[in-house]
Amino acid sequence: MRDPECVFCKIVAGEIPSASVLDRDNVYAFLDLNPVRQGHALVIPKSHYPTLLDLDPGLAADLLRAQQDVARAVMLATGADGVNLGLNLGEAAGQVVFHAHYHIIPRFHEDGLRLWPQTPYPSQDEMNRLAGEIRARLG
Ligand code: AMP
Ligand code: ZN
């Protein structure tokens, strides 16, 4: 499955160059050309799925294994103390390339990055109410 307009499909096909770090049967990983920190890598299915929600569940295990392996290798290669794994699902969440991909971002103690500004719920009731709404939609 391939989208002729998709930049990541072109990368998988070798039509656009990429700094490859991992190449498996159905999964590919390469460096983001505009990294949050150097060593920031992207892990993608080779087939075209616009978002995480479209992804074939059968691929999930292979993608997760690739994320583990790339995260470990990025930490070793950069000396990072940890990584953030992230996926932007939808334009509102910052997704720009609509070929599902995980970001692996090296992190260092005291690196000053604050990726998840957080705010507590106004009340425990509101938190419980929303949890119930979500549970109801999980069947
Ligand atoms: P997202 O905002 O989650 O869709 O992330 C898309 C990411 O792809 C961005 O971090 C871009 O810097 C990165 N990107 C776009 N085109 C390329 C490319 N040709 N090679 C490497 N990374 C790319
Ligand atoms: Zn694609």
Q: Please tell me the predicted confidence (pLDDT) of residue 95.
A: 98
CATH number reported for the structural domain that contains residue 48 in this entry: 3.30.428.10
Residue 131 falls within a domain, yes or no?
no
Distance from first CA to last CA of the chain, Å, rounded?
Answer: 31
| Domain count across the chain | 1
Mean pLDDT over 111-130 rounds to 94
Residue 122 falls within a domain, yes or no?
no
Q: Please tell me the predicted confidence (pLDDT) of residue 1.
A: 86
Residue 73 falls within a domain, yes or no?
yes
Q: Please tell me the predicted confidence (pLDDT) of residue 10.
A: 98
Q: State the amino acid at position 56 in one-letter form.
A: D
pLDDT digit string, tens, across residues 10-50: 999 999 999 999 999 999 999 999 999 999 999 999 999 99
Residue 32 falls within a domain, yes or no?
yes
pLDDT digit string, tens, across residues 50-76: 999 999 889 999 999 999 999 999 999
Residue 18 falls within a domain, yes or no?
yes
The answer to whether residue 101 is catalytic is yes
Q: Please tell me the predicted confidence (pLDDT) of residue 59.
A: 93
- CA nearest to 55, candidates 41, 43, 39: 43
Question: If you count them, how many residues does the chain have?
Answer: 139
Could you give the C-alpha distances from 111 to 11, 36, 74, 108, in angstroms and in order?
Answer: 31, 11, 16, 5
Residue 2 falls within a domain, yes or no?
no
Smallest-distance ligand from the CA of 91: 1
Residue 134 falls within a domain, yes or no?
no
In the predicted structure, residue 139 carries a pLDDT above the cut 90: no
In the predicted structure, residue 84 carries a pLDDT above the cut 90: yes
Which atom of ligand 1 sits closest to the CA of residue 31?
Answer: 21
Establish whether residue 19 lines the binding site of ligand 1, counting it when its CB lies within 6 angstroms of any ligand atom: no
Q: Please tell me the predicted confidence (pLDDT) of residue 57.
A: 87
Range of the domain at 13: 7-110
User: Cβ neighbours of residue 59 under 8 Å, at least 6 residues apart?
Assistant: 26, 27, 45, 47
pLDDT digit string, tens, across residues 88-105: 999 999 999 999 999 999
